[in-house]
Amino acid sequence: MSEIAKKFGIDKALEELGLNKDVNHGTSTGKDFFGNGDIIESYSPVDNALIGKVKSTSKEDYEKVITTATSAFKEWRTMPAPQRGEIVRQFNDELRRLKEPLGKLVSYEMGKSYQEGLGEVQEMIDICDFAVGLSRQLHGLTMHSERPGHRMYEQYHPLGVVGIISAFNFPVAVWAWNTALAWVCGDACIWKGSEKTPITSVACQNIAARVFAENGLPEGLSCLITGDYKVGEMMTNDVRVPLISATGSIRMGKIVAQAVAARLGKSLLELGGNNAIIVTPDANVKNTVIGAVFGAVGTCGQRCTSTRRLIIHEDIYDKVTDAIVAAYKQIKIGNPLDENNHVGPLIDKDAVKNYQTALEQVVKEGGKILVEGGVLEGEGYESGCYVKPAIAEAENHYDIVQHETFGPVLYIMKYKGDLQNALDLQNGVKQGLSSAIMTNNLREAERFLSVEGSDCGIANVNIGTSGAEIGGAFGGEKETGGGRESGSDAWKVYMRRQTNTINYTTELPLAQGIKFDL
């Protein structure tokens, strides 16, 4: 354990989460942990220290997982939904008790600030609260039949085994968004966490497995598999997994979508974003700066909802740009466990290379650097993953601007004239996740939210692009994948809908008035 880890209590956090110093198995059907695959070592981007090791999932391991999960589902689906909600409530109690150590581990293994790590665990708590209430509200509909003496209604049944693939940037929250809802809906879950944050995945599985075991429930309701894309392929190609919920890059999502569609399964995709904030002449500049800076540098620019583009009206372009540049000078970069710092490291050196390439490319395409980037060196930056948040003046049509750079690079551009010109720029990318407008003009705000406005799944007024709440469905359009997670009626994807018609007469009239006499 490194000195930084000891100083900030990571050793104690690991102990509280039931993790040891040796191999924490990365495959589990519940309380039983096993694994026969290769060893994966997890190094912290904070100080490049080894956190722990897990074993990846072999084909034999996976077969045990899917068999156990399928068996557990058959029992779990018969339990009344409010009773399933009670289990989720107990899981939530454990999350509240372990919020601090789990938040620290998220921060240390992923690199986001400790406050953001705590916030991510709070998202888990919030979705569990939502799911507990939902367990008594899995409503269908009643409908009037065209035939006398008939009743029609629709209901929702558990779907089966749900496969969850999550990314490193939210190593616990996205799993919880899916699994809390899937559990109350009556499904069993198999989770492939990111191979970049495997220790955090094992910690969450420890918590879930303990709760299920204490309630005498079968193994397999919460399963964990670990490894690279080959492990994910076992699940995406498996007809025994009717739904795959995948969060990650657009490239990954297209592969998953094709594999699942080939076997006529369901997929829920939440992929990349190229999110913009439009700043009109009627914007509150102070709030714009806060929203844009946090959106661009929060989680070191590694949120799918991170602000990538700032589209500013020419009349206030210089004023807003100067304010943003000045704000960047106040950003403190360093150990994310130290709450004096705003920004931690990128996840690894591959991410650093992508960040550097983006800054080189925008200059080649004609852009101008307004805030210099670069890799930080020296004491406290030994991992080589700390970079400076950068700003570049650019055009929307640049190739590098059209693609998502998963790092703290903000592209600033101006628009002239009517709001429609800004909307054309904002919508002029392949991604459609999150968007925002800063304005005190009611007409502009309503136009932004209208059918002719933002084409994104999330459209905000006078707040930034990141920081979605649990109550609303989360997801985006176009190459973002079209999936919806978390709140609202997102629960329906984890269930199968059934339409029922009951004839309580002594006759058998046919629909549409068809006569068929025997």
Q: Which of 123, 195, 270, 485 is catalytic?
A: 270
List the beta strands (DSSP E) in 355-476.
368-371, 390-393, 409-415, 431-432, 434-438, 458-461, 473-474
78 class by beta-carbon count within 10 Å (0-12 exposed, 13-18 middle, 19+ buried): exposed
- Asked whether the predicted pLDDT for residue 21 surpasses 80, the reply is no
Q: Which of 304, 385, 404, 479 is catalytic?
A: 304
Secondary structure of residue 398 in the 3-state scheme: coil
State which fold the 3-271+481-497 domain adopts: Aldehyde Dehydrogenase; Chain A, domain 1 (3.40.605)
pLDDT score recorded for residue 468: 86
CB contact at 8 A, 331 and 370: no
Residues, the chain = 518
pLDDT score recorded for residue 35: 81
- Asked whether the predicted pLDDT for residue 32 surpasses 90, the reply is no
pLDDT score recorded for residue 405: 95
Q: What is the mean pLDDT of residues 474-499?
A: 97
pLDDT score recorded for residue 34: 84
Beta-bridge partner residues of 65 = none
pTM score: 0.96
pLDDT score recorded for residue 469: 92
Strands 27-28 and 33-34: antiparallel
- Asked whether the predicted pLDDT for residue 1 surpasses 80, the reply is no
Q: What is the mean pLDDT of residues 143-168?
A: 97
CB contact at 8 A, 19 and 206: yes
Q: How far is it, in rounded angstroms, from Cα 276 to Cα 437?
A: 8
Angle at 381 between CA 40 and CA 368, to 5 degrees: 105
Closest CA to 37 of 9, 58, 16, 52: 58
What proportion of the chain, given as a percentage, has pLDDT over 70? 100
pLDDT score recorded for residue 31: 82
pLDDT score recorded for residue 58: 96
Q: Which residues in 2-29 are b (16+ Cβ under 10 Å) and which e?
A: bebbeebbbeebbebbebeeeebbbbbb
Q: Where are the domains of the chain?
A: 3-271+481-497, 275-474
The answer to whether 304 is a known catalytic residue is yes
**Cα 120 to Cα 26, 169, 172, 370, distances in angstroms:** 22, 10, 7, 32
Q: How far is it, in rounded angstroms, from Cα 284 to Cα 464?
A: 12
Beta-bridge partner residues of 279 = 312, 438
- Asked whether the predicted pLDDT for residue 67 surpasses 90, the reply is yes
Q: How far is it, in rounded angstroms, from Cα 274 to Cα 56?
A: 32
For 357-397, the pLDDT digits (tens) are 999 999 999 999 999 999 999 999 999 999 999 999 999 99
pLDDT score recorded for residue 434: 98
Q: How far is it, in rounded angstroms, from Cα 55 to Cα 61?
A: 11
The answer to whether 185 is a known catalytic residue is no
Q: What is the mean pLDDT of residues 224-241?
A: 97
Q: What is the mean pLDDT of residues 69-75?
A: 98
What proportion of the chain, given as a percentage, has pLDDT over 90? 96
Of 141-145, 373-377, 466-470, the range with the lowest mean pLDDT is 466-470
Q: Which residue has the higher pLDDT, 142 or 31?
A: 142
517 class by beta-carbon count within 10 Å (0-12 exposed, 13-18 middle, 19+ buried): exposed
Q: Which residue has the higher pLDDT, 20 or 391?
A: 391
Q: How far is it, in rounded angstroms, from Cα 33 to Cα 27?
A: 6
- Asked whether the predicted pLDDT for residue 248 surpasses 90, the reply is yes
CB contact at 8 A, 24 and 109: no
Of 9-13, 65-69, 323-327, 466-470, the range with the lowest mean pLDDT is 466-470
pLDDT averaged over every residue in the chain: 97
Q: Could you tell me the two tokens for 364? A: 């080649």
For 124-133, the pLDDT digits (tens) are 999 999 999 9
CATH superfamily to which 275-474 belongs:
Aldehyde Dehydrogenase; Chain A, domain 2 (3.40.309.10)
- Asked whether the predicted pLDDT for residue 517 surpasses 90, the reply is no
